[in-house]
Amino acid sequence: MHLDIVTIESISPGVESSLPSPSARGEGSKVEELFRQAGFKPILKTPAKPVTFPLSQEDRALIAAMEKKLYELGGVGLAAPQVNYAKQIIAIYIPEEASLLRDFAQTYPMHVMINPSYQAYSGEKVSDFEACYSVASKAGKVPRFQQIQLTYQDENGHKHSELASGFYARVLQHEIDHLEGTLITDRLTPDCTQGTVEEMMKLRRESLPDEKKRLFDEVMVKKLRK
């Protein structure tokens, strides 16, 4: 499970157990074995496919499983390729404890976005801490656009467009990266602050004021129990 710095996404290998198996999806045993041996890494570097409407039963089962896991682990984002599905689906959930540890962040209820994309609203980028379950060996301060113009479809196929900013925009960019086969290691250039997850968690904690350090510790204790 990813221990957010303090939460870009939290998933666990167990999420696959609640989804249709690869064999049920008609995938060959050779492909299934390749993914198993590689820890599902190949799919993380492959662009996901657009989702068509109406949603299939498989798509709805996938969405339900993603929402359940994201609730269980306390947010904040999850992309379908992370659970071995190359589909353009992301789930976002920013609870209060995650928002309090970020400057000017807001809470967001659980919501699913299908076929999401974005354009930079302005060229301004801000670097902040990110970690990812899919890259357990490294974390760091990733540069992201401060504001983006987001477009996506909901579960009924209706199109939406909104302006996103701050931590919410960061989470969206991180998850949409997964749909494009991009990981935080691709974003962490040599001049970025980076290191192991443990090193970055320590640095993240040191950067917080005392009152937020206490909240940080409480959040970490909760996550370690999951």
1 in a structural domain: no
Higher pLDDT, 99 or 116: 116
Which of the residues are catalytic?
A: 175
Bridge partners of residue 76, in order along the sequence: 93
Q: Is 125 helix (H, G, I), strand (E, B) or coil?
A: strand
Rg of the chain over all Cα atoms, to the nearest angstrom: 17
Residue with tokens 């060996």: 137
Q: What is the mean pLDDT of the chain?
A: 84
H or E, element range at 173: helix 166-179
4 in a structural domain: no
DSSP, residue by residue, 129-166:
EE--GGGTT-EEEEEEESEEEEEEE-TT--EEEEEEEH
Instruction: Kindly state the percentage of the chain with pLDDT values over 90.
Output: 63
Task: Tell whether 174 is in a known binding site.
Answer: yes
CATH code, domain with 39 = 3.90.45.10
Q: Is the pLDDT of residue 213 over 60?
A: yes
5 in a structural domain: no
pLDDT tens-digit profile of 157-186? Answer: 999 999 999 999 999 999 999 999 999 999
DSSP, residue by residue, 54-121:
SPPHHHHHHHHHHHHHHHHTT-EEEEGGGGT--BSEEEEEE-HHHHHTSTT---EEEEEEEEEEEEES
Q: Residue 226 has what pLDDT?
A: 60
Task: Tell whether 2 is in a known binding site.
Answer: no
51 in a structural domain: yes
Q: Rounded to an integer, what distance in angstroms lies between the CA atom of residue 203 and that of residue 182?
A: 25
| Counted domains in the chain | 1
Average pLDDT rounded to a whole number, residues 137-150: 96
Q: Residue 220 has what pLDDT?
A: 80
Enclosing domain of residue 218: 13-19+26-224
pLDDT tens-digit profile of 3-48? Answer: 344 444 444 444 444 455 444 444 444 444 544 444 447 899 999 9
Task: Tell whether 132 is in a known binding site.
Answer: yes
The token pair at 72 is: 């269980």
176 in a structural domain: yes
